[in-house]
Amino acid sequence: MESHLKNVLVVSFGFLFLFTAYGALQNLQSSLNTEAGLGVATLSVIYASVIVSSMFLPQILIKTFGCKWTITYSMCCYIIFSVGNFSAKWYTLIPTAIILGLGGAPLWSAEASYLTMSGNAYALKAGKLGRDVVNQYFGIFFLIFQSSGVWGNLISSLVLKQQIYRATKEELLNCGAQDCYSRSPTTNNTNTQRPQSNLIYILLGIYTGSGILAVILVAVFLDHIPNDESENEDKKNESFWSSVLATFRHLKDDRRQVLLIPLTMYSGFEQGFLSSDYTKSYVTCVLGIQYVGYSMICFSATTSFSSLLYGKISQYTGRAALYGVGSVIHFCCFFFLLVWKPHPNHKILFFLFPAFWGLADAVIQTQNNAIYGDLFVKNKEAAFANYRLWESLGFVIAFGYSTSLCVSMKLYILMMKKEGCYFKAQPPFCP
């Protein structure tokens, strides 16, 4: 197992370094670049580009370069976005967001395919169930990967801690579920909180260096794993357009993929709300932008350790029980955010809430990936491309209406999405 485990760790730590930068930048966009909604627009463009990328790039790049080099080249797209933030304007962030989005789908499809192939290969050699080994591999991956939020957000809070802010009583009335950007944009205090330029440059320099380290780690230490010979034999004569249309062909030919769409989109909805609306309308609005990092550390730490736990216990509990626990936790979070009137005196709640949310998010991330790896063994690239496509559509919608709807309405939408996706996806896929 040593060789396979070594590759899992290389992939995991590569993503750790890469998303130490990108994850924290994503959490700060809605609070950092507030002018005309630039930050939220940037996030929408990123995930819209991921949708376009999901339609054709993963199949082509993985088939041409293999999983290792697809991961390496895609990571470079994230570094370009970090560099674009040094001058946060529409003409810098939007083009670099498009580049990042184009690299996003191949990156995640290659990662998921790599872990699935590695897990199945070891299971075959050790005489174990492929599903159990793949679950464990994804658990290890997400344990390490989700901790990127701890380090990235810690860095942002330490660098930005020089910011001092106190919300007025009038501003507090427009925080939390009552925040309606379109109704009262002038009362939202995030417009006055952009940190000093030198602090931003220090932060971006650290993040760019972390991304470069990720590329070096994967390019040098990750072993190349060829696709299954049976798959190569079937696909080696595929035309260019056949590869381009593989994502849609998979959607058309496999009913299970269609049934997974609501569950996959919900992943984008809930992550988009937390990284954009919670950080802006609750944390930044009440405590200040310097607390965004500390708050999201609690989310990342809980998600990280829960991912490892769920990866190990899923073989005993089954997926239905885990999804049930995640659904209950998320509903409790939605209700709490609707009735809570955030105030600086409630400081501990700003950190406990994202930790609680992370318990449910870990279910979604580990089990969704494991379901795709388990169900679509012979068509991994197209399946995980669909995963990125539909998850990204959830992100785009969540970010797209971010500046148009009140936070309370967004929470009601999340409640409806959660109920619909869980009961539609449960029967065929939760043994």
Cβ neighbours of residue 17 closer than 8 Å, sequence gap 6 or more: 148, 210, 211, 213, 214, 217
Is residue 153 situated within a structural domain?
yes
Q: Render pLDDT for 147-162 as a digit per residue (tens, 0 to 9).
A: 888 898 889 888 887 6
Q: Is residue 210 part of a domain?
A: yes
Residue bearing the bigger pLDDT, 189 or 125:
125
Residue 130, pLDDT > 60, answer yes
Segment 286-305, tens digit of pLDDT: 988 888 889 989 998 898 88
Confidence of residue 205 (pLDDT cuts 50, 70, 90): very high
**Could you please report the per-residue DSSP string of 174-232?**
TSGGG--TTT-GGG-GGGG-PPPHHHHHHHHHHHHHHHHHHHHHHHHHPPP-PPPHHHH
pTM of the complete model: 0.75
Check pLDDT > 80 for residue 282.
yes
- Other beta carbons within 10 angstroms of residue 421's beta carbon come to 24
Say whether pLDDT at 357 is over 80: yes
pLDDT mean over 232-255: 66
Residue 232 maps to a domain: no
Average pLDDT over residues 324-337: 93
The pLDDT tens digits for 26-50 are: 888 877 787 777 888 898 899 899 8
With 0-12 / 13-18 / 19 or more C-beta atoms within 10 angstroms meaning exposed / middle / buried, residue 348 is exposed
Domain assignment present for 311: yes
Domain of 75, CATH number, reads: 1.20.1250.20
- Phi first, then psi: what are they for 41, rounded to 5°? -60, -40
Per-residue DSSP letters for 382-420? Answer: HHHHHHHHHHHHHHHHHHHTTTTS-HHHHHHHHHHHHHH
d(CA 241, CA 273): 36
Query: Is residue 19 a part of any domain in this protein?
Result: yes
Query: Which range has the worst mean pLDDT, 48-62, 187-201, 291-305?
Result: 187-201
Question: Of all residues in the chain, what percent carry a pLDDT higher than 90?
Answer: 32
Lookup: tokens for 42: 């940037």
Average pLDDT over residues 95-120: 90
Q: Distance between CA atoms of 116 and 83, rounded to whole angstroms?
A: 32
How many structural domains does the chain have?
1
Examine the pLDDT at 350 and tell me if it is beyond 70: yes
Is residue 3 a part of any domain in this protein?
Answer: yes
What's the average model confidence in pLDDT over 93-116?
A: 91
Residue 431 confidence class, pLDDT cut points 50, 70, 90? very low
Predicted pLDDT of residue 193:
57
Q: Does residue 186 lie in a domain region?
A: no
The answer to whether residue 239 is domain-embedded is: no
**Domain extent for 172:** 1-179+194-223+249-423
Which of 144, 418, 151, 405 shows the shortest CA–CA distance to 276? 405
Q: What is the mean pLDDT of the chain?
A: 83
Helix pair 347-375, 130-146: axis angle to 10 deg = 150
